[in-house]
Amino acid sequence: MSKTLAIVFLSFFTVSLFSQNYTVADLKIQGNKKLKSSFIKKISSIKTGEKLDSLVIEQDIKRLKRLPSVSHAYYQVFYSENNQYNVFYNVVENFTLIPSANMYTTNNDEFAYRLGLHEFNLLGRNIGFGGFYQKDIYSSYAINFRAPYLFSNKLGLAVNYQDLTTQEPVFFDGTTADYKYNNQSLEILGLYEFNFNNKLELGINYFVEDYAYKSGATNPNVPQQLNVHKWLLKSIYEYNNLDYFYQYVSGVKNQFNFQYVTSTNDMLPDFFIAWNDFFYFKRFGTRSNWANRLRLGLSKNDKTPFAPFSVDNNLNVRGVGNTIDRGTGVIVLNTEFRYTIYEKNWFVLQGNTFVDAGSWRNPGGDFGDFSKDENIKIYPGLGLRFIHKKIYNAIFRIDYGHGITKNATKGFVFGIGQYF
């Protein structure tokens, strides 16, 4: 039988199989070693005795491929008896005890790094637990726990603690001062998955911010010492329709964040902050992937040197520097073209051409600030990705960004994982 006839026959058989009133005799899991079969069955929509539905099975496979513990997944269907079929989910696992490293520098000889260790499949149930140590002039650390399916196949919990200390620039009256900034916080979030595409995170964060003046300009209206206790109400709504095939991603994702912060100090008053990240990925041919992220954000527009949105090398614009400016509104577009230069067995070398562009609203300013030359940053650049296909998020990233707008800088950004 020719290859074409075989494909036609298989397609006809698949349509015929799933168009009939057949049921599932059993769901069987193959290929998993650490990931528990009971957990996979818990989060799967296909159940024994229910109707055999290809759309439901395909959604289950997409869900599995989104798990940090799964490198790839596919399914098979075999006849059992009495119009019943056995469904096999075949899983290729990732290694999930992952060290992490992020380093970044600019032409101003700034250097910072973050080292961490994280287990993404604790107890074989997709539970994440880990932490990091950061050196950015000062030492910082954090511990994170995340179990999306802790209570059921829809309800989970996340707990995060951090003690973060950095040197932060504060901008006022056209001048700059450096402050030692410390943030100690404890956060508890409830995680709820409405369906395959939509989920919600809702919780509370108690934190203490401490600002201590180090050097630079001063102003009688800008305190040199601040210690403020705050409560933060947090919500994240996510729509996710991404599909993964190893290093390739296709589809769309949208994530909306809203936070309301209460304060005990008038210098850092109560405020809200909201931002939306829209992601679009498209695969071209067998080696190319186009990736895009658009961020739109606003906060309460107080004229304060401690505005919440920052312009930062490791967050939004590669090559710009470490927290070089702040604002109460943000528009950032990151677009990059990823091309697989070399691939063999577990190893992938991927090239990357990108443009990061953004603009910010000045504290107390108006929407016209977004179009001012001094607020617009455009940084094209090149990068490389060294990818291990069987270890979760094992992507070593090197990017070099070179600014082409007013007062531009240039620099390298190193990290683990794709930039977005």
Residues 124 and 38 placed together within one structural domain of the fold: no
User: Which H/E stretch holds residue 163?
Assistant: strand 155-172
Residues 232 and 305 placed together within one structural domain of the fold: yes
Residues with Cβ within 8 Å of residue 297, at least 6 apart in sequence: 273, 274, 275, 276, 309, 329, 330, 331
* CATH code (residue 50): 3.10.20.310
* CATH code (residue 189): 2.40.160.50
Residues 154 and 236 placed together within one structural domain of the fold: yes
Residues 366 and 249 placed together within one structural domain of the fold: yes
Using only C-alpha atoms, what is the Rg of the chain? 24
Residues 83 and 117 placed together within one structural domain of the fold: no
Q: Which pLDDT score, from 0 to 100, does residue 107 have?
A: 45
Residues 206 and 249 placed together within one structural domain of the fold: yes
With beta carbons less than 8 A apart as the criterion, state whether 281 and 295 touch.
no
Residue 341 tokens read as 């230069």
Number of domains observed in the structure of the chain = 2
Residues 43 and 133 placed together within one structural domain of the fold: no
Residues 273 and 211 placed together within one structural domain of the fold: yes
Last residue of a domain, one of 93, 117, 138: 93
Nearest CA among 23, 16, 62, 66 for reference residue 46: 23
3-state class (DSSP) for residue 39: helix
With beta carbons less than 8 A apart as the criterion, state whether 180 and 198 touch.
no
Residues 24 and 148 placed together within one structural domain of the fold: no
Residues 47 and 101 placed together within one structural domain of the fold: no
- The domain of 359 spans 97-416
Q: Which pLDDT score, from 0 to 100, does residue 109 have?
A: 59
Residues 118 and 24 placed together within one structural domain of the fold: no
Alpha carbons 136 and 167: distance in angstroms, whole number: 7
Residues 44 and 185 placed together within one structural domain of the fold: no
Residue for token pair 């705050």: 230
Last residue of a domain, one of 93, 121, 152: 93
Alpha carbons 240 and 207: distance in angstroms, whole number: 30
Last residue of a domain, one of 93, 112, 147: 93
Q: Across the strands, what pairs with 183?
A: 164, 209
Nearest CA among 379, 419, 373 for reference residue 396: 419
Q: Which pLDDT score, from 0 to 100, does residue 324 have?
A: 79
Residues with Cβ within 8 Å of residue 16, at least 6 apart in sequence: none
Nearest CA among 164, 115, 112 for reference residue 313: 112
Q: Which pLDDT score, from 0 to 100, does residue 9 have?
A: 47
**Tens of each residue's pLDDT in the chain, 420 residues:** 455 554 444 454 454 555 567 999 999 999 999 999 999 999 999 999 999 999 999 999 999 999 999 999 999 999 998 889 999 999 999 999 988 877 766 445 567 788 999 999 999 999 999 999 998 889 999 999 999 999 999 999 999 999 999 888 887 777 888 899 999 999 999 999 999 999 999 999 999 999 999 988 888 878 888 888 999 999 999 999 999 999 999 999 999 999 999 987 766 778 899 999 999 999 999 999 999 999 999 999 988 777 889 888 888 999 998 777 889 999 999 999 999 999 999 999 999 999 999 999 999 999 999 999 999 999 999 999 999 998 888 899 999 999 999 889 999 998 888 999
Q: Number of H helices and number of E strands within the chain?
A: 3, 21
